[in-house]
Amino acid sequence: MMDRRTRISILLMSGCQALLNSSTSIMISSAALVALILLGPDKSLATLPVSAVVTGTALATLPASLIMRRIGRQQGFILGAGFGIFGAAICSYAVWIGSFWIFTFGALILGTYAAFGNYYRFAAVDIAGHQNRSRAVSYVLAGGLIAGFLGPQIASHSRELFLPYLYLGTYLAVILLGLLAIVLISFVRIPKMTVSMSDEPQRALRDIIRHPTFITAVLSAMIGYGAMSLIMTATPLAMVGCGHDASDSFNVISWHVVAMYGPSFFTGPLIARYGEHRIIIVGALLGLVAVGIALAGLELANFYIALIALGVSWNFMFIGGTTLVTTVYRPAEAAKVQGMNDFLIFGTVATASLLSGQLQERIGWEAVNYVALPMFALVILLALLNMRGGRRRLAAAGG
């Protein structure tokens, strides 16, 4: 069980996660629509700003981990929020002057904020202890439930605040979210790495990443996040292209984000009871269900149900993968393994979000969904194989 101070720290971390994800969901729900306004006749680059966010996250992931190892997680999180504020300011300026490329650059900088903030879940493990790792990760990520309502609604209700500069108010609001995150993180107490932990013998990174459990964990999170990004990034464009209103796309994304983080209240206990592999498999199966519903029709209900199923799929695959990866490294190896884990994840997400726009513009919504099918199937296969291999290793050790 967690003591009172630990619970308060986890609650504050959850609040920081909510603010980070609100900023991210604002970008997801509005950036492609802003790009449509700023772009010329060729709309195939409409998802480039979303891809730039994730590219910024991927590029900054390893440096963020190493910086926090040197200056501490708390200072690193404050620095990351500062990058978010700076990026949002650039996006606001770009909307004001009507520059697509400056807007995309601001999105890239804004992605750096997520690179730091994505370590909230690992900091939660440091705070709560290894025995509470699944619950700590789940409770922090549950903060994203607030973001499901807050982010898209901010985007929807602030887009016309400063007409004729559509969406200027939206990105000024992201600045305020970043400032609030700095306030919250200032009150969190995160354990610092001790000298004994730093001096602990370390294995080479190449040896760790060859471990079957690491491969299963990282591919679960990579594909869960990548396939989700592939479909989600194209959703606003597909919906508007099918004749649905932009406000409908905001609501679909809103419920999608709720589905991403809402299950976090019970994902941790489910993992503790049934194990990471089974939860990962259920998540991948839900991904297949989401694709099937998306391919079944273009009605508003199809988009709602498919994106909700996709959100729960992401939750199980990402939390399952995150929890599983914490079992393969020693404390002294945490920074480099966590950094590599997130670099692989967000490199995949960046590629998927960029590919999403190209597929949607040049081939269509069905192609976006068909690409995701083999990804989910691969995760199911790997998780089953790793479960069998783990049983054999346990049997051999017992024998």
- 350 versus 298: the higher-pLDDT residue is 298
| Cα→Cα distances 222→11, 56, 147, 302, 323, Å | 27, 16, 22, 25, 14
Banded model confidence at residue 196, pLDDT cuts 50, 70, 90: very low
Give the highest mean pLDDT range of 171-185, 232-246, 254-268: 171-185
Mean of pLDDT values over 196-219: 76
Residues in the chain: 399
The answer to whether residue 45 scores a pLDDT higher than 90 is no
The reported pLDDT for the residue numbered 281 is 94
- The Cα 53–Cα 121 span in angstroms is 19
The reported pLDDT for the residue numbered 113 is 92
Residue 70: how many other CB atoms lie within 10 Å: 9
CB 275 within 8 A of CB 356: no
The answer to whether residue 398 scores a pLDDT higher than 50 is no
The answer to whether residue 324 scores a pLDDT higher than 50 is yes
Helix (H) or strand (E) holding 121: helix 120-128
Banded model confidence at residue 283, pLDDT cuts 50, 70, 90: very high
Banded model confidence at residue 361, pLDDT cuts 50, 70, 90: confident
| Cα→Cα distances 169→20, 30, 31, 271, Å | 18, 12, 13, 41
The answer to whether residue 80 scores a pLDDT higher than 50 is yes
- 142 versus 36: the higher-pLDDT residue is 36
Banded model confidence at residue 97, pLDDT cuts 50, 70, 90: very high
Banded model confidence at residue 295, pLDDT cuts 50, 70, 90: very high
The answer to whether residue 394 scores a pLDDT higher than 50 is no
Banded model confidence at residue 129, pLDDT cuts 50, 70, 90: low
The reported pLDDT for the residue numbered 391 is 55
What one-letter code names the amino acid at 218? V
Mean of pLDDT values over 267-282: 87
Relative orientation angle of helices 264-274 and 276-296, to the nearest 10 degrees: 130
Calculate what percentage of the chain has a pLDDT beyond 70: 90
Mean of pLDDT values over 218-231: 89
Domains of the chain: 9-190+207-392 (1.20.1250.20)
The answer to whether residue 395 scores a pLDDT higher than 50 is no
- The Cα 275–Cα 281 span in angstroms is 11
Calculate what percentage of the chain has a pLDDT beyond 90: 23
CB 260 within 8 A of CB 314: yes
Mean of pLDDT values over 257-283: 86
Mean pLDDT across the chain: 82
Cα 23 → chain centroid: 12
- 125 versus 102: the higher-pLDDT residue is 102
Mean of pLDDT values over 299-324: 91
Cα 155 → chain centroid: 19
Q: Which of 334, 321, 341 is nearest to 138 (CA)?
A: 321
Q: What is the 3-state secondary structure (H, E, C) of 150-169?
A: HHHHHHHHHCCCCCCCCCHH
CB 53 within 8 A of CB 110: yes
Assessment of whether the complete model's pTM goes beyond 0.85? no
CB 371 within 8 A of CB 226: no
Classify the phi-psi angles of 51: left when phi > 0, otherwise alpha if psi is within -120 to 50, otherwise beta: alpha
